Amino acid sequence: MKNVRKLMLAAGSIGILALALSGQALAAGPTCAGGTIKVGAVSTVTGPIDFSEVPKATQAAFDQINAAGGVNGCKIDYTISDDKADPQVAAQAARDLIDNKEVVAIVGGASLLECAVNGPTYKRKNVLDIPGVGVDAACFNSPNIAPVNAGPFTMTTAVSYFGARSLNVKKLCAVIGIIGGTDEAYKTALSNWEKITGQKLHMIDLSMTPGGDLTPYVIKVRDAGCDAVVTNHIEPGVVQWIKTADAQKVTGISWLFLSPAYTEQVAKALADTNQPVYASVEWEPFTEPNSEANKGWLASMNAAKRPLTAFSQGGYLAAQVFVEVLKKIDGPVTRGTVTSALLTMQPIGVALNGSAWVFGSGATHSPMQATKVVKLDHGTWKIATPSWVVLPPL
């Protein structure tokens, strides 16, 4: 009898516990102490390059979500820290965000060196980083960082793949400028292209330095008989390269650039050229205002009066995927629960890119594997691939 009573007591306790738990389950969704979720970004704002467009777009997206009531009632408190392209400042900014501001994650940054400098810190502190635009190689090479862009290395493979597949390129040449320790990453990207297409690179040159004269390189690829050249110039370099090709009267070579080429300023500066100039883009081309995929981003940026650029797409997308993950958290939103949610999440379909984005528990992350390619046409960029060019798995 005594045993039966004990059993009933135990059953009752379990029942109460179950009820309590189910009560919590009924209140499903993220909760937050003080009504805010603190999030930060480390970005290069002052310094040689201004990437502030990226986190400002993230800010605009968060502001819009906050104005609509927040994430399950929690407002996102977003801090943008400037790393001034200085490693010490970048490290200090990350420590300040993590230790003093107590952010739950780093979202929407874009920096020349933040990933390389702060990757180890994020690992030690168990913080995850979702850059709006991953710039340096370390952004794609850390267990704690997963950018929402494909980045220069995957893009090198993708635009070369487009060349082989759509332009019937047989002699692909690569002229790559190496900054920092990116040579291995570019070599891997090109060797991935060889594996995917079964072709061999016709010529590779990794000696280009920024700002130097490009005439010898243009002559070199012309004399090597390349029928397409993939190169990683940023905006001014793209203009210089094509002007040099025009000055040297080069014909019959398709020029394959990465996403930094895809700006309206480059198109205008090269309005006079007849060279076949292509650029791979990270997200749905921003110069297509009627595209369905751009709808959400356009509305958000127009509401916040932010510029409509590829950079702002990155910042916006980082905010979107982060909020999607937040919504799936049941219970308090802390650094621990956010990290755990990102590590165990299912891939999220992203309208702005042909791939699904996922953080996951891999040792490195490069979730975006798709591109669209645009072609220069007398001062404007026109879409060369209406559907996404998705890299086949290796």
Instruction: Enumerate binding residues for another protein (CB under 8 A).
Output: 48-50, 205-207, 209-213, 215-217, 219-220, 223, 234-240, 243-244, 247-249, 263, 265-266, 268-269, 271
Specify the DSSP class assigned to residue 260.
Answer: G
Write down the least CB distance from residue 179 to another protein, Å.
Answer: 13
Cα distance between residue 58 and residue 317, in whole Å: 8
Q: Which is nearer to another protein, 97 or 267 (CB)?
A: 267
Query: Least CB distance from residue 321 to another protein, whole Å?
Result: 27
Opening angle at CA 224, ends 219 and 228, nearest 5 = 90
Q: Which is nearer to another protein, 67 or 271 (CB)?
A: 271
End-to-end CA distance of the chain: 67
**Closer residue to another protein (CB): 121 or 244:** 244
CA 272 – CA 29 distance, rounded (Å)? 55
- CA atoms of 169 and 171, how far apart (whole Å): 6
| Nearest approach, Cβ of residue 29 and another protein (Å) | 42
Asked whether the beta carbons of 161 and 382 are under 8 A apart, the reply is no
* Minimum gap (Å) between residue 83 Cβ and another protein: 16
Nearest 5°: the CA angle 118, 124, 126 is 95
Q: Which is nearer to another protein, 100 or 209 (CB)?
A: 209
Residues 6+ apart with CB under 8 A from 68: none
Which residues neighbour 51 within 8 Å (Cβ) at sequence distance 6 or greater? 43, 44, 45, 109, 110, 111, 112, 133, 135, 311
- Shortest gap between Cβ of 249 and another protein (angstroms)? 6
DSSP string, 281-301: ESSS-TT-TT-GGGHHHHHHH
3-class secondary-structure state, position 24? helix
Nearer to another protein, 210 or 252 (CB): 210
Closest distance to another protein from the beta carbon of 27 (Å): 48
Residue placing its CB nearer to another protein in the complex, 91 or 238: 238
Q: Which residues contact 308 (CB under 8 A, 6 or more apart)?
A: 286, 289, 298, 301, 302
User: Which residue lies nearer to another protein by CB, 117 or 266?
Assistant: 266
User: At its nearest, how many Å lie between another protein and the CB of residue 47?
Assistant: 9
